[in-house]
Structure 1
Amino acid sequence: NSDRRKLVQVLRAATTPSRTVIMTIVDKSWARPGSILDLFLESFRTGDGTKFYLKHLVIVALDSQAFQYSKDIHPHCYHLKTAAHFKPFTSFSYLILNKRRNELLLEVVELGYSVVYTDADVMWLRNPLPHFQIPRELSIACDSSLSDASSEGESTDGGFGGFFHLMSSDVTVEFFHLWKLVGVLYPRVANLSLCEISRDTKFVQSAGFRIKFVEADYYGEFCRPSRNISKTYTMHANCCNNLESKVHDLKLVLHALANPEKSKDGTLHQLFTSGNTLKCLTR
């Protein structure tokens, strides 16, 4: 159909020689002037060794407004049509997005492309991809808020799996088909995030699906700032359900990266230890 043809065109334009694309998903609240998307793209331009990967980034828009804005500022965009209205920061919306994202990921890997997926509120401080060159179907950074979200029966941006590498292979395709089939019989399974299903050892092993959980210190998050910022490749603005606060804090992170007067690592460390600078960390 026409949507699939458009997806193929975008993937062909954005792919690396090894048939890998970087992908993020936004809606109109995250894709407008001064938004999360602007900061996300800026992190690629200012990060250490990350600017090169902009040409391999595909922005997936959930609505026409986000799609139009994304096209205005980036060459590789795809409109993922959804039946439901997506409202950020709600458990129900994350369930919808989780399901729709999995369908898209399956389609992409079936087309023979591997995916580096990154939430748009994940700032790229340094090139994280060499750390992901692991012969596994999935390499994933699971946030610390996963256990809290699971215990409360909710899905949050923390437990969602905001950064991962998914290898295109027959095993990956079969895993997603099996997940979908089991989800029909057991709806709770269908609603699990990629991080949550990855921790179901019995299910994963039955599919022959190999997973590498990357070291948390390499992938920072607002929920649990890294103790050694010099090792951090990315910074995820999770544990923050206020969009204005999220944008405010991510601007500070990028400003710290671009600060010419102090070392980047020292400035970032100060951000997360001062106690009164970041709005998202104010309790």
Structure 2
Amino acid sequence: MAKPPRHTLTMPSAHPRGIPRRALPRAGAALFLVTLVGVALPMAVLHRAAVSRHSLEDPWGRYPLPLLAADDEEGAQGDDLDSEDLKLDRVLQKASMRDNTVILTTLNVAWASPGSVIDLFVDSFRSGVGTSSLLNHLVIIAFDGDAYRQCVKIHHYCFALGTEGVDFSEEKRFLTSGYLEMMWKRLDFLRLVLEKGYSFIFSDADIMWFRNPFPHFYPDGDLQIACDHYVGNSTDLRNIANGGFNYVKSNERTIEFYSFWYSSRLRYPGYHDQDVFNAIKHDPYVADIGLEIKFLSTAYFGGFCEPSRDLNKVCTMHANCCIGLRSKIHDLRIMMEDWRNYLSLPPSLKRLTTLSWRVPQNCSLSSQNQ
């Protein structure tokens, strides 16, 4: 098919470094001091006012920013003008691994309240095998102000992704217009992260991390994605992908694919990003750009749709195939209890294949059909 129009989010470039001051010549320095004292202070005030005015008129920093006191009103205004793009650059740089990989999740206030999904998500890293250090590379993307304020209470890398005129704060029921808008906003943000040169693991917050997933990723995959149903072959397009967990390397192929994926929402109105992915993975254009897709086995990356049966292998478990926040939280808490019970067992009992999850319960299809 013809190459679709590329969706581009234009961001201002980072500001260049300021011009260094010229030093006074050593010869005659003492004489200059006498004559300059009377004018130095007024000139400094005028210079500061001029630079401050330029800074306010030019928010992208083409002029050097003045050094102002923390309680200076001009300084507060200058801080407000610092672009969201630069803020994102800073948080990604701080959280990234040596190979420029970050772990990302998204959050709105419905999932952010104490004891809710985000607390369980962070707790799973702390309880997992070889996962606690990965919190140093996790960036939580907040969709609303309340979610951001809660994020900074529990985690050190948070980013506020505001959308003017759109309220993402309430629980978004599956396939409602608010849910779809939030999913596509998320996808476009992930494209931007790739364009900035960062690879990422994206994880929904209703996924519990029990083991470090990196040993189970494929070295030759551009985009590696979890499944609702895995047919047994990592390259088989019949695998039913789940967009809630994926590992994506930043390169020309993935950037092009994410642009194609995002633009494809117009071809499939009313569908969310996961359904659109499962449609466009067959498109000849994906093969033309050379994208290498790998599907992750549910033996390691499971969920309520198709659980990871062996607790000795499981890396992540997703509360997918589940509608409703209360049902998710109920079953996620039971899952965490099952995991802690497993960890408390001696090695000889851990090797038994009879160990299994007690979930799904409230998330089971039978309970949802009642």
Please show how residues 185-196 of structure 1 align to structure 2 within 5 Å.
186-188=267-269, 191-193=272-274, 195-196=277-278
Which runs of structure 1 show a deviation greater than 3 angstroms over 4 or more consecutive aligned residues? 178-184, 187-192, 260-268
Q: Is the 8 A contact 1:31 1:70 kept in 2?
A: yes
Q: 1:192–1:203: structure 2 CA closer, same or farther, 3 Å change rule?
A: farther
TM-score, normalising length from structure 2?
A: 0.66
Gaps of 5+ in 2: 1-11, 13-82, 231-239
Shift of 1:63: 0.4
Q: 1:195–1:181: structure 2 CA closer, same or farther, 3 Å change rule?
A: closer
Shift of 1:110: 0.9
Q: Which whole-Å CA distance do the structure 2 matches of 1:190 and 1:208 have between them?
A: 25
Q: Give 1:131's match in structure 2, choosing from 216, 225, 244.
A: 216
Bigger mean CA deviation after superposition, 251-260 or 66-75? 251-260
Q: Is the 8 A contact 1:258 1:264 kept in 2?
A: no
Q: 1:250–1:61: structure 2 CA closer, same or farther, 3 Å change rule?
A: same
Kindly provide the CA deviation profile for residues 188-216 of structure 1, in whole angstroms up to 9, marking residues without a partner as x: 49854264256324231122211111112
Q: Which amino acid aligns with 2:243?
A: G
The match for 2:324 is 242
Please show how residues 1-283 of structure 1 align to structure 2 within 5 Å.
2-82=83-163, 83-86=165-168, 87-91=171-175, 92-144=177-229, 160-181=242-263, 183-184=265-266, 186-188=267-269, 191-193=272-274, 195-197=277-279, 199-259=281-341, 261-262=344-345, 269-272=356-359, 278-281=361-364, 283=367
Q: Is the 8 A contact 1:253 1:268 kept in 2?
A: no
Q: Is the 8 A contact 1:124 1:235 kept in 2?
A: yes
Q: Which whole-Å CA distance do the structure 1 matches of 2:363 and 2:138 have between them?
A: 27
Q: Which whole-Å CA distance do the structure 2 matches of 1:216 and 1:60 have between them?
A: 26
Q: 1:209–1:227: structure 2 CA closer, same or farther, 3 Å change rule?
A: same
Shift of 1:261: 4.8
Q: Which whole-Å CA distance do the structure 2 matches of 1:74 and 1:43 have between them?
A: 14
Q: Is the 8 A contact 1:24 1:119 kept in 2?
A: yes
Shift of 1:173: 1.6
Q: Is the 8 A contact 2:218 2:294 kept in 1?
A: no
Identity %: 38
Shift of 1:170: 1.5
Q: 1:99–1:105: structure 2 CA closer, same or farther, 3 Å change rule?
A: same
Q: 1:217–1:256: structure 2 CA closer, same or farther, 3 Å change rule?
A: same
Q: Is the 8 A contact 2:338 2:357 kept in 1?
A: no
Q: Which whole-Å CA distance do the structure 2 matches of 1:24 and 1:33 have between them?
A: 17
Q: Is the 8 A contact 2:180 2:270 kept in 1?
A: no
Q: Which whole-Å CA distance do the structure 2 matches of 1:168 and 1:270 have between them?
A: 35
What number of residue pairs does the alignment pair up? 266
Larger relative contact order (CA 8 Å, sep ≥ 6): 1
Bigger mean CA deviation after superposition, 132-141 or 115-124? 132-141
Q: 1:189–1:256: structure 2 CA closer, same or farther, 3 Å change rule?
A: closer
Q: Which whole-Å CA distance do the structure 1 matches of 2:174 and 2:161 have between them?
A: 19
Q: 1:103–1:230: structure 2 CA closer, same or farther, 3 Å change rule?
A: same
Q: 1:133–1:10: structure 2 CA closer, same or farther, 3 Å change rule?
A: farther
CA RMSD between the two structures: 2.6
Larger Rg: 2
Shift of 1:227: 3.2
Q: Which amino acid aligns with 1:61?
A: A
Shift of 1:95: 2.0
Q: Is the 8 A contact 1:182 1:190 kept in 2?
A: no
Gaps of 5+ in 1: 146-157
Shift of 1:8: 0.5
